[in-house]
A = this chain, B = another copy of it.
Amino acid sequence: MGICCQAQAQLPMPWMKKKKKKNEALRSSEHPVVQSIRAIPIRVLTVGKKRSKGIQLVVDEYKEKINYYCSMEDVLIRSNPKNTSNVKAQIEAEDISVIKQLRPDDWVLVLDEHGADITSEQLASLIEDAAITGSSRLSFCIGGPYGHGSQVRSRANLTIRLSSMVLNHQIALIVLLEQIYRAWTILKGQKYHH
């Protein structure tokens, strides 16, 4: 189905400014065939509880598809590790758990309600840009039920959102994985397999 592709980013996207000339073509609707993009390893960190069987099967399905293009690691970080009833303490504990998973040379993309709306083409450009920077990994961070803490927010190289609606972390993960797979088909100039 075709749910959108004309939205404009609502927040500044610093990576666009850096390589404006290079990326102009990538953001046009006629995406050129690009064969030589470094297969930067991708890591998706999700804060949440154990997944349902169906969600895990869909995650595995997209992981296999993405692994055709690059290594993709799916990391589930336990929600509320200190088992507290205090929301602030929960957010802080989850924040620390996520930060521990990040390396200094990771390129970090955070999913957050205050993030920018981007198109599938822009996500493709973003993956390419992360590969060009020389970062060792591209890490996506999906927060828990109360969102991210201040450390993760500060660490973000870019913050985006997947929808104008609130998505739970399991659904957000599936949408993100499908978008990563779609991004690679765009970058490689290949047909998208439904």
Chain A interfacial positions (CB closer than 8 Å to B): 1-7, 47-49, 52-61, 111-115, 117-120, 123, 142-147, 161-172, 174-175, 178-179, 182, 192, 194
- One of B2, B54, B56, B174 near A143 (C-beta < 8 A): B2
Is B54 in contact with A58, judged by CB distance below 8 angstroms? yes
Residues of chain B with a CB closer than 8 A to A60's CB:
54
Are B52 and A61 in contact, with the CB atoms below 8 A?
yes
Count of chain copies = 2
The CA-CA distance from A132 to B51 in the complex, in Å, is 36
Tell whether, in the assembled complex, residue B161 and residue A3 are in contact, meaning their CB atoms are under 8 Å apart: yes
Residue among A59, A115, A168 with the highest chain B CB neighbour number at 10 A: A168
A113 touches B4 (CB 8 A): yes
Query: Interface SS of chain A: helix, strand, loop or mixed?
Result: mixed
Tell me, rounded to whole Å, the shortest Cβ–Cβ distance linking A190 to chain B.
15
Which of B57, B119, B142, B175 is close to A54, meaning CB atoms less than 8 Å apart? B57
> Please, how many angstroms separate the alpha-carbon atoms of A178 and B165 in the complex?
10
Would you call B182 and A178 a contact (CB within 8 A)? no
Q: Which residues of chain B have C-beta atoms less than 8 A from A169's C-beta?
A: 1, 194
Q: Are B61 and A166 in contact (CB under 8 A)?
A: no
Taken together as a complex, chains A and B put the C-alpha atoms of A166 and B4 apart, in Å, by 5
